[in-house]
């Protein structure tokens, strides 16, 4: 957008009119400057955050090097810090959440975009998007007092009686566990998958559907064989977005995961995630290496969510462009 | 529109706060003495409405870290600062970190065993074994032999410990290191350790909450937390061989030796203290105060509070099951207050 | 032929049912959450919850008056910081930016949006709390304000883009410079959407706990002005929920109910406002 004035200065009569134009120009310059400053501030803030993360983690990055990512001890006494248990916990809870949320979310999105009449679809989507607005700490509250007791009393015993032989369901269930955290996360990310996937599905051009129906397919066949593949990149993007959200989720996970830095095959064992360990230990960490290691964990988390968000955006944009022809 | 009302309303509320501007001090640290401190600061504020001492319980580690960074006016910890931490403090703040004992408390083993309401007896070997992850069932012989009259289940023990750096932990592992060479070698003593087993709870509040929610769990908490949440807690065998329950008398007995032999900087450990009635997992807890306070008003407030704490404040400890400081310690502290410049 | 049709129709209705079931399960989660909070929260709400300060540990009868006000102050500051920067940044992207600069700013905004909230708390602790030498409502407001920026930018840009170009052209045809056209015509046309976006932004940030842990800390008394630590509703819910005191649990439910009600009300109002579309001033 150009910032040249509306009228050509030379075309106006001189004197009062010229200074008026100059003032108008100044207004234009000012408007540009003000908005550009705001935009630059955003850039600065983000750069500052990155800089802080890098500089404050310098001690541990230099002392522990790359092995930080592969060590599994977390020993503040000996100054031995390893990120592996937290990376493991973060990844496992997020993957579990996705395994539950993807079928539910994509299924619901398909229903809302393709199967349900528009009025009902809008109303239900409105309600589901409200689910996305529920604060994390409230999920945590319900996780502690509602979900965990239900899991302890009914779900896990049933699960163990059928699948107890599997290593992932091995061992005693204490309530707080990777499993509980995964379930809470699933409920938290499902609305994101539904919301974005539904929009992506709705953006698939109608001629695709009409072509398929003209060939005699049922609604479901059209949906599954034509519309969904067309929108698949965008749907995958929504999954990446949901994953990025799950990885950074702090409060709900901290309240139900058990705060135990360990790597166990069983989902029923307690664990820890990057965001939770920072939340529980940052204010109390004494000693430069301890603090620095926690911040380095933050840097790792930031790096991963950054990559995922970027990929997600690209994928969602690609579907949009396909639809626009 | 409602939006138009919100701004003036909140502005008024925040200004209202300014109008009654009190002198405000902030402290952070140990959860171990939190019930006592929250009562004290509440009472002190009633006596001096213009002084608000805001204490946030986050754990002893937070107390040490934040007072070293200078983001709080004073810290609190049940594990005294070690020499390295004192040096760091001196580097960052340019003055010394002074320790002021406030009360005596006790770490008790609290548990949640369905069907068992009796006070269990724990030997040092039992506690060390449980926390090392070597004793895994409640009916293990080491526990059973000390409790012949109690029917212990064969269920697995769920161990709960602190998730963050904690003075309560320090007291616990300090005791375990004294009674178990294996613990001393494998894990060691610090506010945050590499736990061989167990779940992490946030603060004394979190550990007691976790134990209360989890069947067959055991955790270590400050005495008052077990009492206030009405959870059973066990007796621990002391160095004389007696199983002692934590209470005012047994905790005071544990401090008897330290009372006469208190070092000048007040940093002392009284775990596994001699004495036939001494409770072995007792400890002082300290306020960490910089030796130089720039703000004259804040300095006066802190000095006044310390004097009050050593006088009328001590009379309030019994109600919350903390033991008073021994008279000799109080006298020594009154003199030490003058070190704050 | 007939059999194939029957099979396909069967599968059609089966999948209709299954996908409908997925939707139902998701919706039931919402109603379950709401229902549970209403059931447990309403019973614990009383006058002292809204008017009294927290009681000493273990004593019953305290309230969260200071936390409610504290949250209000922090959110007010967050709005004052986040919305102007976000709004103006969005205007830049929609109206003034050149392609290269806009790409960078959008990218950076997405980056900022992706920063986990706990990390924002840690960074603001280093930048504000450590430098100032104390925890404060101000630091809490800064942390929440930073979180508000990306959503504000995106929603402003989106709603400005949705204003038809004919409006802009009409304004300049009448001789107005670009900024004047923006202020008097374009922004008012998009204002409903922008305000809704702001409300949604605010509602999201109102429930954030992690950034406040290391910035506003907490306070059992009233927090005076902006430079003292303050209690906030989400942090109180967290602290009380993980404790073992029944009275604290009761209060956590009540606070959760209050927080959720406010957040959902703002969301509903904002979304209904947005649904009415772009408002063209006559």
pLDDT of residue B114: 93
pLDDT at B10: 59
**Residues A80, A51 share a domain:** no
Residue A44: predicted pLDDT: 95
Contact yes or no for C114 and A146 at CB 8 A: no
Residue A86, pLDDT > 80, answer yes
Instruction: Please count the other Cβ atoms lying within 10 Å of the Cβ belonging to residue B266.
Output: 18
Q: For residue A148, which residues of chain C lie inside 8 Å, CB to CB?
A: none
- Do A104 and A74 lie in a common domain? yes
The answer to whether the Cβ–Cβ distance between C242 and B201 falls below 8 Å is: yes
Q: In whole angstroms, what is the distance from residue A150 CA to residue C277 CA?
A: 43
**Would you say A251 and A279 are in contact if contact means Cβ atoms under 8 Å apart?**
yes
Q: Does C6 touch chain A (CB under 8 A)?
A: no
Please report the number of interchain residue pairs, chain B to chain C, with beta-carbon separation below 8 angstroms: 102
Q: Is residue A108 part of a domain?
A: yes
Is pLDDT above 60 for A129? yes
| Token duo for residue B151 | 């029917």
Mean predicted lDDT score pLDDT of chain A: 85
Domain that holds residue A106: 69-322
Domain co-membership, A46 together with A97: no
Domains of chain C by start residue, with CATH: 69-232 (1.10.3720.10)
From residue C53, give the alpha-carbon distance in Å to each of B337, C76, C236: 32, 21, 12
* Structural domains of chain A, count: 2
| Among C60, C69, C63, CA closest to C48 | C63
Checking if the pLDDT of C100 tops 60, the result is yes
pLDDT of residue B15: 53
In-domain check, residue A225: yes
H-state helical runs in chain C: 2-44, 47-51, 65-91, 99-114, 117-124, 130-132, 137-161, 165-173, 178-181, 187-206, 210-213, 233-241, 246-275
In the numeric block, the tokens 């009600």 are attached to C261
Chain B 210-229, residues with CB within 8 Å of chain C CB atoms: 211-212, 224-225, 228-229
- Those residues of chain B that have pLDDT short of 50 are 16-19
Q: How does residue A157 score in pLDDT terms, banded at 50, 70 and 90?
A: confident
Entry pTM:
0.86
Q: For C18-52, what is each residue's pLDDT tens digit?
A: 999 999 999 998 888 888 888 888 888 888 888 88
Q: Which residue of A has its CA nearest to C205?
A: A135
- pLDDT above 60 (res A9): no
- Tell whether A17 and A109 lie within a shared domain: no
Q: Is residue A133 located within the same domain as residue A30?
A: no
Among A17-26, B160-169, C178-187, which is the least confidently predicted range? A17-26
With cut-offs at 50, 70 and 90, classify the pLDDT of residue A12. low
Same domain, A204 and A145: yes
Is residue A197 in some structural domain?
yes
Does residue A81 sit in helix, strand or coil? strand
- The answer to whether residue A61 sits within a structural domain is no
Q: B31 and chain A: CB distance < 8 Å anywhere?
A: no
A188 shares its domain with A109: yes
**Residues of C with CB below 8 A from A283's CB?**
213-214
Instruction: Please give the residue of chain C at the shortest CA–CA distance from B231.
Output: C244
Of B7 and A229, more confident: A229
Look at residue A63 and tell me if it is in a domain.
no
A131, pLDDT greater than 50: yes
Q: Which two tokens stand for residue B176?
A: 């375990």
**Which chain A residues are Cβ-neighbours of C16 within 8 angstroms?**
111, 115, 219-220
A324 pLDDT tier (thresholds 50, 70, 90): low
Strand B199-201 to B158-162 pairing? parallel
DSSP A161-210: HHHTTSGGG-S---S-SHHHHHHHHHHHHHHHHHHHHHHHHHTS-HHHHH
Residue A321 has pLDDT above 70, yes or no: no
Question: Residues A270-281: what's their mean pLDDT?
Answer: 90
Instruction: Give dist(CA B202, CA B222) in Å, integer.
Output: 14
Nearest-CB residue to B202 (from A148, A174, A280): A280
Give the pLDDT score at B18: 47
Instruction: Give B 32-51 residues with CB within 8 A of chain C.
Output: 34-35, 38-39, 41-42, 45
A228-248 vs A274-281: helix crossing angle, rounded to 10: 20
What CATH number corresponds to the domain at position A224?
1.10.3720.10
Split at pLDDT 50, 70, 90, the class of A51 is: very high
Q: Which has the higher per-residue pLDDT, B14 or A258?
A: A258
3-class DSSP state for residue A74? strand
Taking an 8 Å cut-off on Cβ atoms, the answer to whether A248 and C22 are in contact is no
| A4 occurs within a structural domain | no
Same domain, A313 and A206: yes
- Strand order of the β-sheet with B282-290 is B51-57, B23-29, B74-77, B282-290, B97-112, B217-222, B158-162, B199-201
Does A201 map to a domain?
Answer: yes
- Are residues A101 and A45 part of one domain? no
Q: What is the pLDDT of residues C115-144, one digit of tens each?
A: 889 999 999 998 999 899 899 999 999 999
This model of the complex carries an ipTM of: 0.86
- Residues A83 and A28 both lie in one domain: no
Token pair, residue B180, equals: 């178990």
Answer yes or no: is pLDDT of A228 > 50. yes
Q: Does residue A34 lie within any of the structural domains?
A: yes
- Residue A2: pLDDT over 60: no
Q: Cβ-count burial of A66 within 10 angstroms (0-12 exposed, 13-18 middle, 19+ buried)?
A: exposed
User: How far is residue B182's CA from residue A5's CA, in Å, rounded to a whole number?
Assistant: 82
Mark whether A291 and A186 lie in a shared domain.
Answer: yes
Interface contact B58, partner A, CB < 8 A = yes
Same domain, yes or no, for A222 and A274?
yes
Give residue A1's pLDDT: 47
Task: Give me the phi and psi of B303, to 5 degrees please.
Answer: -60, -45
Q: Are residues C130 and C117 in contact, defined by beta-carbon separation less than 8 angstroms?
A: no
- Secondary structure in 3-state letters for chain B: CHHHHHHHHHHHHHHHHHHCCCEEEEEEECCCCHHHHHHHHHHHHHHCCCEEEEEEECCHHHHHHHHHHCCCCEEEECCCCCHHHHHHHHHHHCCCEEEEEEEEEEEEEEEECCCCCCCCEECHHHHHHHHHCCCCECCCHHHHCCCCCCCCCCCECEEEEECCCCHHHHHHHHHHHHHCHHHHHHCCCCCCCCCCCCEEECHHHHHHHHHHHCCCEEEEEEHHHHHHCCCCECEEECCCCCEECCCHHHHHHHCHHHHHCCCCCCCCCCCCCCCCCCCCCEEEEEEEEECCCCCHHHHHHHHHHHHHHHCHHHHHCHHHCCECCCHHHHHHHHHHHHHCC
- CA C131 – CA C71 distance, rounded (Å): 23
The length of chain C is: 282
The pLDDT value recorded for residue C145 is 96
- Chain B: touching chains (3 or more CB pairs < 8 Å): A, C
């Amino acid at each position: 957008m150009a910032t040249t004035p509306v009228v050509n200065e030379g075309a106006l009569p001189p004197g009062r009119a010229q200074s008026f134009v100059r003032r108008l120009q100044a207004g234009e310059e000012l408007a540009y400057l003000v908005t550009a400053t705001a935009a630059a501030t955003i850039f600065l803030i983000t750069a500052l955050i990155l800089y802080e993360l890098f500089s404050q983690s310098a001690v541990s990055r230099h002392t522990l090097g790359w092995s930080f990512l592969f060590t599994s001890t977390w020993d503040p006494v000996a100054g031995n810090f390893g990120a592996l248990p937290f990376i493991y916990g973060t990844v496992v809870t997020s993957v579990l959440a996705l395994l539950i949320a993807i079928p539910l979310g994509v299924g619901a999105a398909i229903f809302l975009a393709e199967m349900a009449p528009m009025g009902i679809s809008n109303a239900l989507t409105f309600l589901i998007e409200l689910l996305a607005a529920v604060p994390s700490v409230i999920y945590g509250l319900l996780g502690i007092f509602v979900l965990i007791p239900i899991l302890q009393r009914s779900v896990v015993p049933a699960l163990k009686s059928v699948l107890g032989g599997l290593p992932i369901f091995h061992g005693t269930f204490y309530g707080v566990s990777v499993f509980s955290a995964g379930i809470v996360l699933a409920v938290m990310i499902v609305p994101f998958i539904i919301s974005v996937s539904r929009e992506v599905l709705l953006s698939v051009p109608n001629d695709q559907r009409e072509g398929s129906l003209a060939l005699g397919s049922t609604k479901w066949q059209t949906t599954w064989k034509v519309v969904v593949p067309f929108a698949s990149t965008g749907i995958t993007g929504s999954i990446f977005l949901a994953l990025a959200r799950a990885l950074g989720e702090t409060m709900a996970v901290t309240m139900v995961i058990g705060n135990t830095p360990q790597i166990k095959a069983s989902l029923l064992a307690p664990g820890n995630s990057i965001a939770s360990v920072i939340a529980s230990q940052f204010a109390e960490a004494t000693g430069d290496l301890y603090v620095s290691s926690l911040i380095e964990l933050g840097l790792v988390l930031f790096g991963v969510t950054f990559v995922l968000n970027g990929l997600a955006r690209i994928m969602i944009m690609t579907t949009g462009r396909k639809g626009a022809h | 529109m409602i939006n138009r009302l919100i701004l003036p309303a909140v502005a008024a509320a925040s200004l209202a706060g300014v109008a009654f501007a009190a002198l405000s001090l902030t402290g952070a640290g140990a959860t171990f003495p939190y019930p006592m401190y929250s009562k004290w600061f509440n009472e002190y504020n009633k006596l001096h409405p213009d002084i608000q001492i805001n204490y946030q319980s986050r754990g002893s580690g937070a107390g040490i870290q934040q007072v070293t960074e200078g983001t709080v006016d004073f810290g609190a910890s049940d594990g005294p600062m070690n020499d390295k931490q004192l040096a760091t403090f001196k580097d960052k703040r340019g003055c010394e970190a002074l320790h002021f004992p406030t009360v005596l408390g006790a770490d008790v083993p609290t548990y949640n065993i369905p069907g068992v309401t009796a006070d269990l007896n724990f030997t040092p070997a039992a506690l060390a074994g449980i926390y090392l992850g070597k004793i895994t069932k409640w009916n293990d012989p080491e526990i059973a032999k000390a409790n012949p009259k109690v029917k212990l289940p064969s269920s697995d023990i769920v161990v709960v410990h602190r998730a963050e750096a904690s003075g309560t932990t320090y007291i616990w592992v300090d005791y375990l290191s004294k009674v178990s060479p294996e613990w001393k070698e494998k894990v060691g003593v610090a506010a945050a350790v590499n736990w061989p087993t167990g779940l992490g709870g946030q603060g004394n509040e979190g550990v007691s909450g976790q134990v209360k929610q989890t069947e067959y769990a055991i955790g270590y908490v400050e005495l008052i937390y077990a009492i206030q949440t009405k959870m059973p807690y066990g007796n621990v065998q002391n160095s004389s061989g007696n199983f002692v329950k934590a209470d005012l008398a047994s905790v005071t007995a544990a401090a008897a030796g330290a009372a006469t032999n208190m070092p000048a900087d007040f940093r002392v450990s009284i775990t596994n203290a001699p004495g036939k009635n001494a409770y072995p997992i007792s400890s002082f807890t300290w306020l960490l105060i910089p030796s130089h306070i720039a703000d004259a008003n804040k300095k006066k407030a802190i000095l006044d509070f310390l004097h009050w704490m050593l006088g009328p404040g001590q009379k309030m400890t019994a109600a919350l099951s903390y033991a008073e400081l021994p008279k000799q310690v109080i006298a020594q502290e009154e003199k030490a207050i003058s070190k704050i410049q | 032929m007939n059999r194939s049709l029957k099979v396909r129709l069967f599968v059609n209705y089966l999948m209709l049912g299954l996908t409908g079931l997925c939707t139902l399960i998701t919706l039931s989660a919402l109603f379950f959450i709401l229902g549970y909070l209403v059931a447990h929260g309403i019973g614990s709400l009383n006058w002292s919850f809204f008017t009294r300060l927290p009681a000493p540990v273990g004593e019953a009868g305290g309230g969260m008056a200071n936390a409610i006000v504290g949250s209000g102050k922090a959110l007010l500051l967050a709005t004052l910081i986040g919305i102007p920067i976000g709004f103006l940044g969005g205007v830049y992207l929609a109206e003034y930016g050149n392609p290269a600069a806009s790409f960078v700013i959008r990218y950076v905004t997405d980056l900022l949006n992706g920063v986990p909230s706990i990390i924002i708390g840690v960074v603001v602790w280093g930048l504000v709390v450590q430098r100032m030498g104390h925890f404060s409502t101000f630091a809490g407001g800064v942390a929440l304000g930073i979180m508000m920026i990306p959503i504000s930018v995106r929603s402003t840009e989106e709603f400005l883009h949705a204003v038809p170009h004919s409006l802009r052209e009409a304004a300049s045809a009448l001789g107005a410079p670009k900024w004047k056209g923006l202020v008097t015509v374009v922004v008012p046309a998009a204002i409903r959407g922008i305000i809704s976006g702001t409300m949604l932004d605010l509602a999201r940030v109102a429930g954030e706990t992690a950034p406040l842990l290391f910035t506003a800390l907490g306070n059992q008394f009233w927090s005076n002005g902006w430079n003292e630590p303050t209690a906030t509703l989400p942090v109180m819910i967290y602290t009380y929920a993980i404790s073992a005191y029944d009275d604290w649990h009761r209060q956590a439910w009540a606070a959760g109910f209050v927080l959720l009600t406010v957040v959902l009300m703002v969301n509903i109002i904002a979304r209904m406002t947005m649904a009415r579309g772009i408002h063209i001033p006559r």
